[in-house]
Structure 1
Amino acid sequence: MIKLRIAVLFLAVVVITGIAGYRFLEGYTWFEAFYMTIITISTVGFQEVRPLSSTGRLFTIGLLFAGLGVVLYTAGTVTAKIVEGEFQQFFGRRRMEKQIDALTNHYLVCGYGRIGEVICRELASKPVPFVVIELEEERVRRVEEAGHLLLKGDATDEKVLLVAGVIRAKGLFATMPVDADNVFMVLTAKDLNPSIFVVARAETERSEKTLVHAGADKVISPYAMGGHRMAQAALRPAVVDIIELATHYQSLELQLEEIVVPPGSPCEGVTLRDSGLRQEPGVIVVAIKRALGGMIFNPSADEKIEAGDSLVALGEVARLRWLERRVELTSST
């Protein structure tokens, strides 16, 4: 960019010098001087406005060499910028596609509006791998500034979803502002990968039902959720404060976490008491979500943990990380 500015500055200096030279050396009018300068620098060679003196001819020769050099330098700089930008874009896209190809069990965030941006912050804070699919230039720029993996394209296009690794993905967030786009996206994603977990945004109650029928595992209405949260903030402020403290991605004091029990875990087939999880200070097992469905709130010490169950725990971040390692540690290690 600096070279381009220098080239434009030199070109402006040559033009101004040419105009001034013809005006004061040959007595041309300002317009005639401008005309002579342009045809000289551009080497067009149209007829002179009037015959030049010997001084004027020498000045024209100097202006011709100076102008030609500056024009060639400017053209070369602009061409280099264009070619360099195209190469950077090409190789950057190829590098991004290779990174996406290497992902498994990742998430797709379709749309980088206000909701998509918040989702990305939450995923990055975990951290878990994810790819943003966005087409709008301004949002693409914001994704790049944030440093997220980006696939530029239409998220409703099956080919784009395939390039993003939808077949290998663990989940998909359909956050487009148009419900019809989200419905089509859910249908396409579920057709390509029936096991993918899809969370979809809905603008209306009718769209919520349509998205569920399309295959969305969870449907969220931002307006309904926002209204509910505002009402609860007034009716149950302490409860809302605890929930926000436990679920906000920047919270360092307390977090609510979901930990899946894998096969071979030392916690598989044992009770909460025998697992030692209830005795761990700073961590509370709030609930157990069974793999076959159903939720057990405030489970007793005699509740047995099975593979595929999800433990919902509340505690300090460091203790939750310990709990994750404890639960996910296989018996073979």
Structure 2
Amino acid sequence: MNLYKIFRFVIKAISTPLAFLVLFFVVSMFVYKNLEKDITWIDAFFWITHPHAISEHRSNETKIFAFIVYVGILFFQVWFIERILVNVFSGELKILWRKRMSEVAISKLKEHYIICGYGQVGRTVVDELIKLGLPFVLIETNESIVRELLKEGLNVIHGDARRRSVLLSAGIEQAKFICTLIDNDADNLYITITAKMLNPKIKVISRAGNLRYAEAMKGAGADEVVVPEYEGGMVVGRIISRYEKLKGL
């Protein structure tokens, strides 16, 4: 898919000079036909790219125009190269190429982790996976974040993890774990259900905002459910309890 996007991007980058080049060819062919009545349209077209094919017995006007056409072709070559280089160094083509390389790398993964969402929890999980050297694929809806992560060489997909096609492109059928860490309980529940449908053997770790959704996620097949707010409260409670015990000694 991204190969098509790269091709389309290149065509878009050179569309303006390409349009003028076509116009230049048409006008040049008409001029050649007007200067030399005995030539065909094929001859006129051929002379544009092969001015050396014009014989010496042709009129001086034709020879002068052939030189103008030759300079024009050189101008268009420079224009094409300039447009391509400008767009390459602008970074857009690099991003498309990195997406393509990421897709190739993801297609080869097996027994990997899929991380849905790059919020605060997602960032922490990704950092840990990198430290542990474990293979993973990140699914994120924010395009600017995806671009930055692609620059870092991470395997990331720009898309909605609720969609079957996105999960399949992340290699869910070969994955070992999926972590649904989006800041929306309904979305995490939906992803959990879809993930289990696509790969019944996959282990699911879900994030929930409240205990009610945590129970629903477990019922939907989540192997582990983390409630950050609840866990954070429990940690604070344990700290208070520890200080109170120390004060009582």
AA partner of residue 214 (structure 1): A
Higher relative contact order (CA 8 A, sep 6+): 2
- Report the equivalent of 2:205: 199
1:166 Cα offset (Å):
0.2
TM alignment of 1:143-158, pairs within 5 A = 143-144=149-150, 146-158=152-164
- Report the equivalent of 1:164: 170
- Report the equivalent of 1:127: 133
Deviation readout 1:205-245 (Å, 9 max, x if unpaired):
111111111111111001001111122123237xxxxxxxx
- Report the equivalent of 2:105: 99
TM alignment of 1:51-66, pairs within 5 A = none
1:102 Cα offset (Å):
0.8
Alignment check: 8 A CA contact 1:172 1:197 kept: yes
Q: Give the Cα–Cα distance (whole angstroms) in 2 for the partners of residues 105 and 78 of structure 1.
A: 40
Q: Give the Cα–Cα distance (whole angstroms) in 2 for the partners of residues 146 and 96 of structure 1.
A: 11
Alignment check: 8 A CA contact 2:218 2:224 kept: yes
- Report the equivalent of 1:111: 117
Q: Secondary structure at the match of 1:172?
A: strand
- Report the equivalent of 2:11: none
Matched-pair identity in %: 35
Q: Which has the higher strand share?
A: 1
Say what the alpha-carbon RMSD is for the aligned residues: 2.5
Alignment check: 8 A CA contact 1:106 1:169 kept: yes
Alignment check: 8 A CA contact 2:185 2:207 kept: yes
Q: Which has the higher helix share?
A: 2
Match of 1:227 among 226, 230, 233: 233
- Report the equivalent of 1:323: none
Q: Secondary structure at the match of 1:94?
A: helix
Gaps of 5+ in 2: 1-74, 244-249
Match of 1:184 among 182, 190, 198: 190
1:78 Cα offset (Å):
8.5
Q: Secondary structure at the match of 1:162?
A: helix
Alignment check: 8 A CA contact 1:113 1:139 kept: no
Q: Give the Cα–Cα distance (whole angstroms) in 1 for the partners of residues 119 and 181 of structure 2.
A: 8
Q: Secondary structure at the match of 2:200?
A: coil
Gaps of 5+ in 1: 1-68, 238-333
Match of 1:81 among 79, 87, 110: 87
1:133 Cα offset (Å):
0.5
Q: Which runs of 4+ in 1 moved over 4 A?
A: 76-79, 82-86
Q: Give the Cα–Cα distance (whole angstroms) in 2 for the partners of residues 102 and 114 of structure 1.
A: 28
**Structure 1-normalised TM-score?**
0.46
Q: Give the Cα–Cα distance (whole angstroms) in 2 for the partners of residues 159 and 129 of structure 1.
A: 20
Q: Secondary structure at the match of 2:133?
A: coil
Alignment check: 8 A CA contact 2:110 2:175 kept: yes
- Number of aligned pairs? 166
CA 1:236/1:142 → structure 2, altered by over 3 Å: closer, same or farther?
Answer: farther
Q: Which has the larger radius of gyration?
A: 1
**Structure 2-normalised TM-score?**
0.60
Alignment check: 8 A CA contact 1:200 1:211 kept: yes
CA 1:219/1:106 → structure 2, altered by over 3 Å: closer, same or farther?
Answer: same
